[in-house]
Amino acid sequence: MAKVKDIKWQKGMKVFELVKSLGNCGFQGVELNKAVECFTKMKREGAKIYLTFTSNMTTSGLRGFFAQLIELKMADVIITTVGSIEEDIMKAIGEDFYIGNYSADDVGLHEKGMNRVGNLLIRNESYERFESYMLEILAKLYAKKNRYSVSEMLKEIGLMLKDERSILYQAAKNNVPVFCPAITDGAFGFHLFMFQQDHKDFVIDVVQDFANLIFSSTHDDKKAIIALGGGVSKHHAILGTLLNGGADYAVYMTTAHEYSGSLSGATTREAKSWGKIKDSADAVTVIGDVSITFPLAMFAALDILSEEGLI
């Protein structure tokens, strides 16, 4: 039985050394260290990594890190929600988001044309510029052909962005598919709807994209899920791997709890009852703010993998 050990700061300490020491501290530090071990194993074993995240994480400063992980070959498939697509594009075309506070005067913010996501702020002007850009993009897409799967459309958009910190750009450049099953659940969906009013033969095929997801792996592949947050992006990865035998590795990071019975709070233990994760899978659930827990765990894993020459 492992003993609790006091943590201690040391000059020049690396991230993986910090997280390893937290693994002896107790509580979620133990799970965080297990996540590092799982990240390193999935890479060492050549597993196909499904990285899923919700849009609020792209609103934050994690957006560029997700793009970097694609470039480092730490993500083979991306699954996210439509807000991620919108905000990745906004930042790629030069829009900035701002840090506010959780107790802001929301009515006052609305009057100033500011939209709050937790303690982050997005200007109405950013959405207006996004709308103008989308009109140009959709016209270019339609000029090429009139039918796309969602991931095919997002790859075409990514190739147009030319921003090294863009998720869509790095995914397109590195041939990593981006799936967004709820593509109409946001401003992006509204612009698709409006464009289709004048171009009735323009079709975005979500059923074809489900087929693309299923065929993104096989029963023979080792499969890994990194699910940051919950909702449709998390379940889409789980469902896609379930149909091909289940995941061999899984790390769930979330602030949701299992007691409500929601998918967002469902643990890796619960997933095994469905066969979503293999009985023998290396799996861990970390409870906490993903904008803190994920960089800590993944930075630590990258330190280790870099020393091993795997990235």
Task: Give the model confidence (pLDDT) of 188-197 as tens digits.
Answer: 999 999 999 9
Active site residue 173: no
Among residues 91, 223, 272, 276, the one annotated as catalytic is 276
Q: Using one digit for the tens of pLDDT, what is the confidence trace for 134-177?
A: 999 999 999 999 999 999 999 999 999 989 999 999 999 999 99
Residue 297 has pLDDT above 90, yes or no: yes
pTM for the model stands at 0.95
Q: Are 160 and 151 in contact (CB under 8 A)?
A: no
Q: What pLDDT was estimated at residue 55? A: 96
Continuous H helices in 93-186: 106-111, 124-144, 150-161, 167-173
For the chain, which domains are there? 22-95+147-307 (3.40.910.10)
Alpha helices (H) along 23-123: 28-44, 55-59, 63-71, 82-92, 106-111
How far from each other are the two terminal CA atoms of the chain, in whole angstroms? 34
* pLDDT tens figures, 62-114: 999 999 999 999 999 999 999 999 999 999 999 999 999 999 999 999 999 99
